[in-house]
Chain A
């Protein structure tokens, strides 16, 4: 029986830049930061209200990762384009969070808009990924 997700991976093309985005700008906390002797850095962060889920910010080009050259090339194309749709980030108020993150220099692909399911903006992490940032509709 699987009862919850404990870890999820997010591929990023720069772990330091990702640390700045997720920790400094979004306010996530670092859960684990360990480096293997082969150079693989295992950096995990957690959203403020979900300390028990670790999001691993993985650099597929790191020397310790086991991807072959073809896979690395595919990652490079997608991450350089910022094409990875990584998930949905919940916010209690999309417009307020949009204003706050814009003031911190975060880049958005789209402004807050009313959708059937709530208010949504599309946010980029600057390391290859975009997210829906959604305030779900109150029923």
Chain B
């Protein structure tokens, strides 16, 4: 298996962690590459080789993961979440969210809300019974 130098790994990991910390801002991937002391071309090529996803796809994935978390735990409007995670267009956010997670943002929020209410008021509905009741020997 071809390995990269330790220096390249350090640069790529610090670039990935930069995206992890700043994905909700207007991240300029050319600046990320230049901070990692790599040309845009090499940054794109090496990042994709290591993470099996392009830097832009990774940025989008991080934003959509955060959107999921906010939809689950927050009362913010969908438009507010869209802005908070760094998307400029509500339309492209909604269609990308649906493509990645199978449901439109509002439908996802409604589904999660229903599950949370069930878990809070009737926890036995979400926990397999065998984990909460002593096992009895199987009848012969």
Q: CB within 8 Å of B: which residues of A?
A: 7, 9, 29, 32-38, 40, 42, 48, 51, 56, 58, 64-66, 92-93, 95-96, 99-100, 103, 114, 118-119, 135, 137-138
Contacts and interface: CB of A to CB of B under 8 A. Distances in A.
Nearest to B125: A34
A38 B132 contact: yes
Given A33-B119, A34-B120, A99-B13, 20 more contacts: A7-B128, A32-B115, A34-B126, A35-B123, A36-B124, A36-B132, A38-B132, A40-B131, A66-B132, A66-B134, A92-B50, A92-B51, A93-B50, A95-B4, A96-B13, A96-B50, A100-B17, A118-B1, A137-B1, A138-B1
Contact of B69 (A29, A66, A99): A29
* Contact size range, B: 20 to 34
23 contacts: A9-B131, A34-B120, A34-B126, A36-B123, A36-B127, A38-B132, A40-B131, A42-B127, A42-B131, A51-B101, A58-B131, A66-B134, A66-B135, A92-B50, A92-B51, A93-B50, A95-B4, A96-B13, A96-B50, A99-B9, A99-B10, A137-B1, A138-B1
Nearest to A67: B134
A103 B51 contact: no
Contacts of A135: 1
A137 B2 CA distance: 10
B135 A40 contact: no
Interface in B45-98: 50-52, 65, 68-69
